[in-house]
Structure 1
């Protein structure tokens, strides 16, 4: 089984969409999405600086649109009918579109609403996030909690992301757990914690207006790594996900139990494939960062289907 993953916020870098605009179909897709949601994704994916695309209201639709663009490009090259899918944090909206739970238009419209609501919630307090890499898991969790922080993303592969007050994050960076290093993330708030609770009603109202279908392919949730069979369940989990921890470690355990044979991370790839190499040793992986990476993804899919 090939698992295709949609990355979450923090995976964007300045200019990462530049090489994707030579294909008229890809440019047209981004132009249409930009018009629909009122965010110029082509500008932000090509010329905007790091601080601009750090803005949650921009970053979230930019990342999800990029993942769907890469999915479309990959689907033009190979048969993806047997691929399973999952997303990390906001990437779950991309996964929802790929699985057919939402249309692409509805998924991106909801992401734009989510991003704006979470950006507003982030202004209510000075908060941030930091990745803790390495160390002993129990000791890392104890250290995170000792600073009054939340383990917002338990990513597996030796990485846990802490979230909470900026002052507490600074202390964690200055005093890392034994055997670990702490890297502050380029995000605008403490996502997947109670600090984001005020964004939920806005997203809930928007989600109530879209058509929801049961997934047409294997789909897992960040909530606990379980497989989702009801579209309405996934919709509801996407709403509460805003203020609840991401359990990517549980997702990877589920991938392993399902017999994963390859892992492909969609644009803007890198972080999840790195975690997969540590957390699912021996499983071949491909991170799609540029159009040139599509060839390696096709080869992996072809090998798995033989």
Structure 2
């Protein structure tokens, strides 16, 4: 074990009970609570609901959230065991950053998709390729994997110098900031079109779902990205123990973010529900469909309950 690892082990054992027990236990509880909701979303969007551009992004977002929560569980449950070795932290951390980055990319892609639908409605409905969502999702997964692998290998113990690790942090940090700016810019564009434009955008359940998801990410998911941007501090080993404490708190918030997304979908879909109660399996499917509806309440004809053949709006 090299000197860096020894210092990391010493820092880990010097953490207080708050960082060693309380924060990890809370993170594990949030992850366990969020896994079932993401599984339900994956099942419904993967096998029960007709695909459209938005549902493809939501399916990939739920996949990254589910795997990210699993990653947090593996790390902290392993840490609680007698076989934990801090030297392997970087491997789980790399997988977690891959999944977190993918989730950020997917959320940004959804916002950009809705901006295109609003700013260029004719192109979106008539010229947009039907396979574009699947291609973009594949590219975003590949980009996240590439960035994570470059960062992981440049900061591994194989390299004797920290300059390469610092360079990679200097590259990836601006990339995350750029994606975050795209997310905020597209979300603000939609908000301005709803509130201030002469041709106001009608509020639909899809925009409520997207708005709440972005808001929860800004409150709970963003801190992990900030810690990643500040990763250069960790590469230089400046205030390492403080960085670990903040990172554990950020992981707790990120577990809340990944667990809250399914709750948002089902809350928005079931809000002001006036229809009769159906069987649980059908009800969950229809609730998720309603959460992704891009139709204003005033435009719906009648009050008859939606049929199972009703598909999510927004299909090209």
User: Which structure features the higher share of helix residues?
Assistant: 2
TM-score normalised by the chain length of structure 2: 0.31
- Bigger radius of gyration among the two: 2
